[in-house]
Amino acid sequence: MCFKRSALSVVIFSENFADSSRCLDEVATISRSMEEFGHLVLPVFYKVDPSDVSEDSGSYANTIEQKYGTRRLQIWKDRKRWIDALKAVANCVGYTLQEIKIDSDLVEEIVNVVLKRLAEISPRVKSDHLVGMDVRASEVEQLLAMNVYDFRIIGLWGMGGIGKTTLATTCYHSFVSSEKEMKYHFVPNINEKLENQYGIEGMVHELYSILLSADNLDSHNMGIGYRRERLSRLRVFLVLDNVEKIPQLEQLLLGDKQAANLFGPGSRIIVTTRNRRVLENAGANIYEVKHLHSHESLQLFGIHAFKNCLPSDDYLDLSGVAVSHCKGSPLAIKVLGCALLNKQRSYWESFLYELGKNPKLEIDDVLRRSYSELETVKKSLFLDIACFYPRLIKSLAIEYFPSSYLEDLINKSLLSYVFSEREGLERIEVHDLLKEMAWAIVNEESKLENRSRLKNYDDIYKLLAVGDVKTSRIFNYLNIMKPKEKHGSSFE
């Protein structure tokens, strides 16, 4: 076994463990990896006491002595190596069956501990890129009050691009590896998923299958009463990201507007939204995620425009002008900073002059200005990805599109790669504001026949409702599936 490539080993000590020289050899290898590489180990004592494994007078040492003590010299050396290894591994913090009476509960507890320990050693986003996050996270953690054994739902409310999801993620990771006896789950970008990929019933089924550790439950078993009974005994830490409509949250919480009795005592739910009414309807404690202060804006801008914490003296005046256009939006600051990275002062002046022509400047104008600086082929690639592939797997993205173009869009903060711990892979991520900008640009293309892509459902319907296409299977399908509300709908 190659323990250098493993982050953690689980060693299960049973009554007959010491009878197997192969098991003893593996423990010796694990022990050596602990010493040489800092390998993590979780010992599980199954129907044996830790002292049976670790002490010289324990049952393991006696078994080794009786079975191998009178053998040849090599076996005698192995005997000492085995006993030393058993002591080293058994002295790690572990679990015994006496603590948890039911085997299935023991297995579940072991899995949870392994996941938490792996989360603790997983790489984190560098904190220097999360300007102003520490203070905001501390304020949210006070509202969460994890030491109080009641139910709480916390709402993170604010404009798009202000950092709600980043704040929720920061708070989630600060507790996921420290709080025990809780079920953790983060559901990202709910509004987009419900509009473009999922039905609400499918999302509810997936969410509660995960929380109840029951992926094979069918629709009958997942009835409201059944779920409520089990969930009422479950302590959860749940993040519902980007919930924009009241019915979305109500259905995700099984029709319970307040959700106070849905989960067990000590449970916490974080909801991020641009719609304050969603939180008010749910009786949430609302935390308004406000824009960055001027000094925070300059610091974040410096990170992306200069790869430093503050703008250089030569560009301090122009940096102040740049961040004033962003109105404290972290996304706009990041995109604008990346657009000006490594550019001459004359370019800055021209760029900011064009940006400042609009007296009623909005965040969207900042994003559009950065988009307008792209080459034509990269503009087209960005629109394609934002409209049709915003969650494409990284490996497929590299296969479908020129990697140099993707890298340039990432460097300009118009795209990013995000690792999904649950899936174990990276996907492309396009921020909501950037997707909305892309959709608006596509819809603004003047003539239907000159448009390279269609996002709006009605445009797709009209195009397919021409001539012989009306008799096609896809047109009949669209006619059946046409949404009741025409405005704001999309088809992918």
The residues carrying an active-site annotation are 26
Contact 16, 10 (CB under 8 A): no
Secondary structure letter of residue 207 according to DSSP: H
- Cβ contacts of 283 within 8 Å, gap of 6 or more: 153, 257, 258, 260
Position 382, amino acid: F
Q: Where are the beta strands (DSSP E) in 413-474?
A: 416-420, 425-429
CA distances from 248 to 190, 280, 487 (A): 9, 14, 18
How far the first Cα of the chain sits from its last, in Å, is 46
What is the spatial distance between Cα 259 and Cα 345, in angstroms, rounded to a whole number?
Answer: 55
Question: For 181, left (φ over 0), alpha (ψ -120 to 50), or beta?
Answer: left
Across the beta sheet with 95-96, the strand order is 8-13, 40-45, 95-96
Apex CA 358: angle with CA 354 and CA 364, to 5°? 90
**Residue 413 φ/ψ region, left for φ over 0, alpha for ψ in the -120 to 50 degree band, beta for the rest:** left
**Inter-CA distances, 485 with 366, 463, 489, Å:** 31, 19, 7
**Measured between alpha carbons, how far is 51 from 28 in angstroms, rounded to an integer?**
18
Strand order in the sheet with 236-240: 183-187, 236-240, 268-273, 152-157, 285-288
Helix 200-211 vs helix 224-231: crossing angle, to nearest 10: 40
Class of residue 383 by CB neighbours under 10 A (exposed 0-12, middle 13-18, buried 19+): buried
Residue 340 exposed, middle or buried by CB count within 10 Å (0-12, 13-18, 19+)? buried
Q: How far is CA 181 from CA 98, 272, 297, in A?
A: 18, 24, 39
